[in-house]
Amino acid sequence: MKFNIETERLILRELQVGDLQAWFEMDSNPEVHKYLGNQPVKSIAQIEKAFQSIQQQYAENGIGRWATIEKKTGEFIGWSGLKFRTDEENNHINFYDVGYRLDKKYWGKGYATESCKVALEYGFKTMQLKEIIGTCHEENKASRRVLEKCGLKFVEQFIYKNELTCDWLKITKEEWEKLDVY
């Protein structure tokens, strides 16, 4: 997969080995994992394993999470983008979800919304997807707000991995085409 999109403030590209240390620093922060089951990573080996999984997703599905780079500084600020989900979640299998995770120092700057909009556009225009799902912990109001600003609508709550109550949101291509935010 060769992927590189630039927005006004971000560069979205495939994850690279050079991103692993900054990714580890982000994912080892307990605050970043507050709504993810409170299990921050403890070793760079965990990030390396996640990186290999994403590399496999790129090869098998033509899509996977992207490195999110602040254009002004060239800094890795997190990851975002689409993922093809083949594991069962909320009684669904084989669907695309949009996600993002940013280093805490980049929260509240609109980067999650900006990257989510790009991912939706890529999914609907380039990949010709029919729908995209977004999920977030029920108490993560900021993440839910990002998904809603991008046009996703709440469908239902579900229990993730038998322990976390999460919100399931969805947007169809037809709904996305009617939005005036793009």
Model confidence pLDDT, tens digit, residues 98-144: 999 999 999 999 999 999 999 999 999 999 999 999 999 999 999 99
> For residue 60, what pLDDT is reported?
95
> For residue 162, what pLDDT is reported?
78
Within 10 Å of residue 96's Cβ, how many Cβ atoms?
18
Is 69 part of a structural domain of the chain? yes
Is 172 part of a structural domain of the chain? no
Burial 118-134 (b: 16+ CB within 10 A, else e): bbbebbbeeeebebbbb
Residue 24's domain spans which residues? 4-132
> For residue 3, what pLDDT is reported?
81
Is 86 part of a structural domain of the chain? yes
Is 168 part of a structural domain of the chain? no
Measured distance CA(16)–CA(61) in Å, rounded: 17
Is 24 part of a structural domain of the chain? yes
Contact 129, 96 (CB under 8 A): yes
Q: Which pair of tokens denotes residue 43?
A: 């070793």
Q: Which stretches in the chain have pLDDT values below 50?
A: none
Count up the domains in the chain and report the number: 1
Is 178 part of a structural domain of the chain? no
| 100, β-bridge pairs | 80
Stated pTM of the model: 0.95
> For residue 180, what pLDDT is reported?
74
Measured distance CA(170)–CA(96) in Å, rounded: 10
Contacts of 161 (CB under 8 A, 6+ apart): 37
Is 90 part of a structural domain of the chain? yes
First to last CA, the chain: 25
Is 49 part of a structural domain of the chain? yes
DSSP letter, residue 15: -
> For residue 102, what pLDDT is reported?
98
Backbone region of residue 102 per phi and psi (left: phi > 0; alpha: psi in -120 to 50; beta: other values): beta
CATH code: domain of residue 46: 3.40.630.30
Residue carrying structure tokens 């994992």: 33
